[in-house]
Each structure stands twice: as structure tokens, then as C-alpha cells.
Structure 1
């Protein structure tokens, strides 16, 4: 266990060289079971680990991650599973746009990405509740070598430090120079709680990478980087017409569903030679009890 904890602390120390970080855990560390039969307090009580213990304490966010995630209505709860087991910590790390860390106590954790299954109660096109299931890639590390694919992301601390709608909106030209935004996106961002805002921030970062490498003379739409963008159904696409900043009407018929499932980030359907802006980031258009995203 001491060897695994040494590697765990090394992961945190390496990530700490990238940017300011916080360690968020499900329960108070003193009561946390690091691995089956091994409690954190047992390790921390050994004075040989005093320096490492102090380092962890300095990173520790004293609120469990259930408190970090803003409260959501029960109908919007998200469930996460990994390898067939409930994985609230993995889900929380993903929803907060963070890195999941674990102890390297088994080879199953020796990887940089975890493929986790998410289930969310959402509305279908008829406004009826349904369970929507997706598989998401979650950033993860249990060894320092696992951090390598995440280093560029981790060092991009400017966008990672944005934790308010005002910051995201005011910095949009610097963070997303290849994207344009309809003015009404601002009100959508203002209405988002922090977990949803972070998801939108992450998706906009991926859309920026996609748009930056896109040549519209060669391809009708970008090659989406780490974002599953899908067309709206025909019945809903008629609700997705908006006027852009040039006074031109576009059908924003491409969307990415966020967790919780009734939130969408909408984009225009492809048109040759132009890249109209994201329309909005909010509740799905035309959803029962939902406001317009636009």
C-alpha cells in the first residue's frame, strides 16, 4: 500500500506542476478506504509519510464531491457506472471537467482514459421521459505515465480557471477565436449551474479545435474533435431556426446533448463555405418545461 500511495502522491505532484489543483474526495479522507482493507488513516498515521500527508492535506478540498456538484432536480440525476459497478467519483470528475485519479493497486487502473457508462433521465422528441445511455471517455491517471496524454490539457490553465458565465462570455474571443456566438448565448450561459457550465466550456474547447482545423472548401463540416455532434430529428429541426449577427437565418440543426440530458449545445446545419456560430447552450428547444436554447 505504501508503494501505491507513493505513486498516487507522485501523480498529484506532477499534475500540480501544470496548474493549481484541488483534490476532491467522496468522503473525509480519514474515513476513506483507499483499497479493500486499507484505510487512509492507517497510512497517514505512519510518520514516515508526514511530508506526503501534508501535501495531500494542502490539496484537499474539504467538501466531498457530492457538495461540489450543484444540486439538480431529481429528474435530472446522472448515474455513472464503470466495469458494471456504480462509479460516482468517476462521474463527478467527468461532469466537473476534471481528472479522475486512483491508486495503482490493479492493472485495470493502469490507463489514461476510462470508458464509463452514463444514464440520465431525459425527454424524447414527444416530451416523454426516457432513459438515455451514453459511453464517455473520462480523463484518468493512477501512475505518472498515465498523465502524459493529459499534459497539454492540464497546462492550458487559462480556460480551466474559468468558473463563471461572465468569464466565459467575456473571454470568448480569446478562448474560441474560430467560433462566433449569437448574443443570446450569453443568457443561456448565465442560467447554467457550475457543472453544466464546465461541460459547455469543455465542449466549446473541442469545437474550437475542430473549427480551427477545418477547411470548408474541402469538407462540408469539421471533423469533430472529441465531441459527438448529431443532427436534430426532423420534427425538432423546425424549432431550430435562429437569426445570426449578420441578420441571416440558419437552421441550427446539429447538437450535442450534455449531462443532464435536457441540456443541449446547438450548432448550425452545414452550409458550404461558412461557419456560423453556436446558437446556444441550455435546455433543449421545445422540451416540456424547458426554455429555448438559442
Structure 2
């Protein structure tokens, strides 16, 4: 679960309103870039409720929400899990009252919480010091003898969407682990279908695909889930401009032979029949999944899963 801790110090500036609004937009895009990799697991942690945030002195979040270009970002941000204050995500009974973190001369509670819990700090890049992939902190821990132990540490951090790229391996490892744990307990295609939005948020499905999932044999449920995970990972990296044909697939994916394409026409989301001839296999043979690429949405849409068509 990628826990993102909002750095409260980045919200205490006196910058001009336009700069503050641009910085909030950049930070929200970074948060959503993390959520794109693991929507179900992404948790935004802040000092106070997100709706009550002050983005700068005298600059309430409502001033940013009111911007036309912020409306969709705000809607998507509200969908994410959120908690406040920081201590709500600490282990039960733990307060960490004997540990303090500083960036420069300032105590940074949010960035400290990120380091304590293995999370990621996020900031508004209003000031250059917050515009970085990693931030150096001074950690001071009180000892039982009345002394203290001081160390220098780093915390992973993002203030812009571009910063998230440096942390993708960590985010994906966590998402993959959570996905594998969820798949391990499934016994039916209907259960897998019910979790599709949480486990595979980037993939699309036709309305009739639900029926095919419901008819899956139990032995196919986990292999299908694993293939869906590979497809999810492939489209998460896909740039149709640089890769106009297809994403970089994680398993053996190909289009159907010409003489079999007549079998691959299915009703799409608008009811029109379209060709879904891209496909992949899953074991035990002859399991097949059919889909088509949706370049304009940078994803793919699945129409069929089950026994190889025509066999």
C-alpha cells in the first residue's frame, strides 16, 4: 500500500495565488500518478482533512477547487482513500513522541511520518527545496538516559508527476504483492469480476464479459487474474505516441490469424460489434482471453475469457 504523506511545510508559504494553484495541480497529478499504479492501495495522509487544507497562508483549497482546470483533478482526488492526522496510520499504541524530524531548521511532521512508516512524502512545489525525488532529513531520537541520537536520513518524495517515475519499482512491488494476495483467495470468476476495479483499474471490459467471467472454471480463476495483472502493468507504461502498435507486453500476446478472426467479433460497450482479435493464453490449455486496444484511452478492453474460441 503506497502511503503518501502530505508535507505540511509546503502549505505554509506566502507565494502568489497563481503559483500556489499551479503547485497544487502539479502535486495532485503526482498523487494520481501513484494511484494509477495502485488505486486500491493508495492512501493520502494529511495533517487535517483534505477538504480543509490551507495551500498557503490565506489560500484555502477552495480557491484551487474553483478553477475549471482543477475540477476533474479534485473529483479524482476525492475518490482516493484518505486519513488524518498522521498518527492515524501509526501502529496501534505507538505515538513516536520520542522521535523528531527536521528539514533544515524546521520540524517536518508529515515527512517524518513518511520515513517512520516506509511511505512517500508529497509536497506542493511552491519552493525549490520541495521540488525533488528525495529529501534529506535530520532524525533525532530521545534515548532512555536522557541523551539523544541524531542521524541523517532520506525520504522518497514527489512534488510533480515526473518524480513518481523514480519510485515506480517500489510502488509496483507493493501493488503486485497485494494483487497476488487477493488472487490467492479467489475461487470463482464472479469473485474475480467483483474485484476488477480494485485490482485492474486501468483495464476496461465489455458488458457481456461479466457472463464469461461468471462461467470460468475454478482452475482458471487465478491464471486469468495473473494475466489481467500483466495486461494492467503493460498499459500502465504504454505511450501510444511512442508505441503506436501496442504496449510492451509482459507475456505472449498477439493478434489472431486471418482465418480465425471471424470468431473474434463481440458487442462493444456501445452495443456495436467490433473485432477483439488481440489475445493471450492461460493454463490449463486451451484458455484464451480476447481484447482490443483502445488507443484514445491508453488501455485495452476485454470482451471474452474462457475456452479457446471454436475448440
What's the TM-score, normalizing by structure 1?
0.48
Larger radius of gyration: 2
Determine which structure has the larger helix proportion and give its number. 2
What's the TM-score, normalizing by structure 2?
0.46
